[in-house]
Amino acid sequence: MAEAEATKQKVDLAFVQQDMRCIPFVNTFDAIINIFTSFGYLGTEEEDYKVIQQVSRALKPNGQFLIDIDNRDWLLSVLKPKTCREINGIKRKTKTCFDKANGRTSTTIYYTRNNKQFKRLSDIRRYSFEEMTKMLQSAGLKPKKNYGGFKDEPYSNFSKRMIILSTKTECDENNLHINRCFLTKYNKVVD
């Protein structure tokens, strides 16, 4: 859809479909955007961190990274273990649980449409603000601003969104130390 719109608008863009754990660019972009909770779906924190490392690697020095995810604190305050609703003839039932030990929500969604039932599973790592900023810093990204929504709302534990704008820093001994400390959590280095 975006590619078709770019062609229609006569905008010259290169579209690349790639595993976000292996971004094939180095010091290339002025900005990278990851929005609408498209982060946390990978199986481990290690893989999530690899994504953040790759983003940092792909940014030019002083490049900016904007990440938008659900605010875990808000989500847990409104989370309902079971829901049931019908919209436009589609029945939807969900079962959700939060595992405090690994910080993940697991959701099973059942859809019923025209007497056919469909099932979808969702398993997402929900990061706290502190965990997310630490991960960014460990990858050489310095958080500059944070928001609770797209209309410049301030971030708080009650914001629906956690939007963090960070800037790629120059690699220095302090960043390397933070990076080593973060990685010792996994007992191995992620390159």
What is the pLDDT, as a whole number, of residue 113? 87
Q: Are residues 132 and 174 in the same domain?
A: yes
Q: Are residues 87 and 178 in the same domain?
A: no
- Number of structural domains (the chain) is 2
Q: Does position 52 have pLDDT exceeding 50, yes or no?
A: yes
Spatial contact of 134 and 115, defined as CB atoms under 8 Å apart: no
Q: Are residues 147 and 99 in the same domain?
A: no
Q: Are residues 32 and 65 in the same domain?
A: yes
Judge whether 9 lies within some domain: no
pLDDT digits (tens, 9 = 90+) for 101-123: 999 999 999 999 888 999 999 99
φ, ψ of residue 79 to 5 degrees: the values are: -65, 130
Q: What CATH number is associated with residue 95? A: 2.20.25
- Positive or negative, the CA dihedral 140, 105, 73, 181 is negative
- The secondary structure of the chain, three-state, reads CHHHHHHHCCCCCCCCCCCCCCCCCCCCEEEEEECCCCCCCCCCHHHHHHHHHHHHHHEEEEEEEEEEEECHHHHHHHCCCEEEEEECCEEEEEEEEEECCCCEEEEEEEEEECCEEEEEEEEEECCCHHHHHHHHHHCCEEEEEEECCCCCCECCCCCCEEEEEEEECCCCHHHHHHHHHHHHCCCCCCC
Q: Are residues 167 and 179 in the same domain?
A: yes
Judge whether 10 lies within some domain: no
Judge whether 190 lies within some domain: no
Q: Are residues 27 and 112 in the same domain?
A: no
d(CA 130, CA 143): 11
Q: Does position 16 have pLDDT exceeding 90, yes or no?
A: no
Q: Are residues 133 and 167 in the same domain?
A: yes
What is the pLDDT, as a whole number, of residue 17? 87
Q: Which domain holds residue 99?
A: 76-124
φ, ψ of residue 55 to 5 degrees: the values are: -60, -50
Structure tokens at 162: 């956690």
Q: Are residues 48 and 86 in the same domain?
A: no
d(CA 71, CA 159): 7
Give me the amino acid identity at 151.
K
Q: What is the pTM of this model?
A: 0.83
What is the pLDDT, as a whole number, of residue 171? 60
